[in-house]
Structure 1
Amino acid sequence: MTIKDIAKESGYAIGTVSRVLNNNPSVSPAARAKILEVIKRYNYQPNSNAKHLKQQSSDGLALIVKGTQNMLFVDILEKMQAILEERGYVSTVYYIDEEANEVAQAELICAERKPYGIVFLGSNLEYFTPQLAELRVPCLLLTNSAATLNIPNLSSVSVDDVSASSLMIEYLYAQGHRKIGLIGGKPDQSRPSLSRLTGSQSAMFRLGLPFEMEKQYAYARFSLQSGYTAMEYLLKHCPDITAVFAMSDLMALGAIRALNDHGLRVPQDISVSGYDGIALGRYSNPRLTTIRQNSERLAQRGAEILLNCIENGSSAVHEVVPFELIEDESVAALPNH
């Protein structure tokens, strides 16, 4: 009889069983009673050595987050951790730099902590090779699709960034904008930035809009300050733009502040749009036009898929969730349009 057997027999997660065995108070009375009943029925005796090793490791999940200022990730994490806790798991968050190797971090965590599963938030797919399967734990990529990677222990839940970005460019075009600047991450280091750039460029080509990468694309990290600096780059290198599409809401809000500091009004002089749909954009002045990613759906489906892989040995799943274009105050139609 193992902890896995007790979990299966009782109907509760492995993490919940582990908590009961370790007298952790964060278990409901009903769950504790049911698990203890199964333990008593089978006269289960935990291996003291195994228990000692277990106490040195994690009885939960590792959540690896690239960057420290992405508010969409904060929102997803909050929702996902609540779901995981309800299911009896402890989750530990590891923040790494936007340009760090998240798979190398996962290997380190597995060697030291032995988690049941790993969640990656914000990722560079170049790091994800078939060697990931050697970790022998279910993994999940959130906000980025792993469907083309064919790694057996890697699931994903994402938004179609290419289609969403194309839609935003089409929306700006419909408002009369013909010279559009872009703010985003380095496409060779950020898969979301690459996908959003691809979608934007395809829409511009389809609509016959001009686009010069060196002048109309400003590199930025996913932060307010970086969005501010990128907007100043666009004003210097492409002063005739009438609209900006920033590939995160924080970048967009930083860009709006830069425009204000340069004596320009949003949206009267230059329209600005973002991507993510974070709460802050609804309280900014002006309120932000953006692509809203459904953080609740991303968190819920991500947790469900990962736990199904952990508890039932299910195969990897790749799911795409809907997005929504939020029309608000930061974009205006050009006069005479």
Structure 2
Amino acid sequence: MAKVTMKEIAKASGWSLGTVSRVLSDAPGVNEKAREEVLQTARRLNYQKNDIASALRQKRPEGIFIVVVANGSPIFDQLAFRLKERLETLGKRVHLLRVQPDQDEGELTLSQMRQSMPSAIVFLGTRREKLRKLYGRIPIPAVSVGADLGNWPDTNLVSFSLPDTEIFQQVTESLFEEGKDEIGVIMNDRFAYSELADRYLGIQYACYSRNRILQENEMTTLQPSTYEGGYEGLKQLLAKNGKLNAVLVGNEEQAIGLLRAAKDLNIVVGQDLVVFAMDLSEASHYSIPRLSGIKRDLDQDVIHIIATLNDLETKFSNEVPRHQELAWSVEWQDSCWRIETIESLK
């Protein structure tokens, strides 16, 4: 017999999923009518607790977990800092869990939840395959930033992401149209976090449209998401292809490292070589030359994440969109001229 879920209890009792979660966790602030009706419904449906739900009943919720994958894009660390700062100004207690490359974020999260039960979880850069382990095992509001999980039926989890496949496909096709057909790619390993696989897919689609194949050993180099990664990445791409005239870069730190390497190699970025980067922040305005790429609005991301967590607590979960797009814009600066055809994206 399938286990009864809190979603089913919410539907049968007429109370929101957030209220059901607070009742079953014995949280304070729930009126007696709601508590009585939810518990009666749980008994009638023969609701059985799992290990996490049992821990939730035994402990008072202690703040919010922010789970960050350490080998993902630096943008996730920046977002974690701003989100933590904002939540703390709202009087929330925040626990930051930084997942190292040799750790499994799903298992780490479950282990931490058995020790200290949060009221909500925010996953930053968590890989899709790791989130699958958590399906149905988190009875509290949760948000994932990075992977598009819009097709998942888990009503406790809402995902945010960029349309990475579309962005990289259109940027690559636009570079081809402008005569920049010797394109290199500097990114982290595509398995490091979910967005990277989507970005590679977009580049592949663009190559297919030109009857080309993405030759990873010739066009790409996998580098850490650091300044050093971008510096070494450009040198490796040039060693593979001396005709290189464009580079797509996975994040801002790699792009700034690339700019330093270009300077040392007497390459004029914006003329000899155009550069388009993802995950730009305000720092891109202070690089020389200034970087073109996709700029993330982290302050808006923080606002949307907190609003979504509140919605998951106060509304029926099916009223909250399963997937939402992150705030972003196209930033045209000195490293790459304005490509009109990409404007259809945003």
Residues 112-162 of structure 1, C-alpha deviations (whole Å, 9 max, x = no match): 211111111112111122643223222210132111333332211111111
* Local SS of the residue matching 1:80: helix
Change beyond 3 A, Cα 1:251–1:131: same
Match of 1:326 in 2: 331
Letter of the 2:28 partner, please give it: I
Aligned length: 289
Of the candidates 118, 124, 139, which is equivalent to residue 121 of structure 1?
124
CA distance in 2, matches of 1:2, 1:181: 54
Q: Which has the higher mean CA deviation after the structures are superposed, 183-192 or 309-318?
A: 309-318
Letter of the 2:331 partner, please give it: I
Match of 2:68 in 1: 65
The unaligned stretches of length 5 or more in structure 1 are: 10-52
The answer (yes or no) to whether the contact 1:76–1:295 under 8 Å persists in 2 is yes
The answer (yes or no) to whether the contact 1:227–1:250 under 8 Å persists in 2 is yes
Matched, 1:166 2:169: yes
Match of 2:247 in 1: 244
CA distance in 1, matches of 2:314, 2:92: 12
How do residues 191-270 of structure 1 correspond to structure 2 at under 5 angstroms? Answer: 191-208=194-211, 211-270=214-273
Letter of the 1:84 partner, please give it: L
RMSD of equivalent CA atoms: 2.9
Change beyond 3 A, Cα 1:157–1:286: same
* Local SS of the residue matching 1:4: coil
Matched, 1:310 2:310: no
Change beyond 3 A, Cα 1:101–1:148: farther
Q: TM-score, normalised by structure 2?
A: 0.74
Matched, 1:3 2:61: no
* Local SS of the residue matching 1:132: coil
The answer (yes or no) to whether the contact 2:159–2:323 under 8 Å persists in 1 is yes
Match of 1:141 in 2: 144
Change beyond 3 A, Cα 1:98–1:166: farther
Q: TM-score, normalised by structure 1?
A: 0.76
CA distance in 2, matches of 1:227, 1:61: 34
Residues 249-283 of structure 1, C-alpha deviations (whole Å, 9 max, x = no match): 11111122222222322122222111012111111
Displacement, 1:220?
1.7
Match of 1:33 in 2: none
The answer (yes or no) to whether the contact 2:234–2:261 under 8 Å persists in 1 is yes
Residues 26-83 of structure 1, C-alpha deviations (whole Å, 9 max, x = no match): xxxxxxxxxxxxxxxxxxxxxxxxxxx86xx762101011127844224423442344
Displacement, 1:86?
4.8
* Local SS of the residue matching 1:5: coil
Aligned-residue identity in percent: 20
Displacement, 1:210?
5.8
The answer (yes or no) to whether the contact 1:116–1:310 under 8 Å persists in 2 is no
CA distance in 2, matches of 1:332, 1:312: 46
Letter of the 1:4 partner, please give it: G
Match of 2:296 in 1: 293
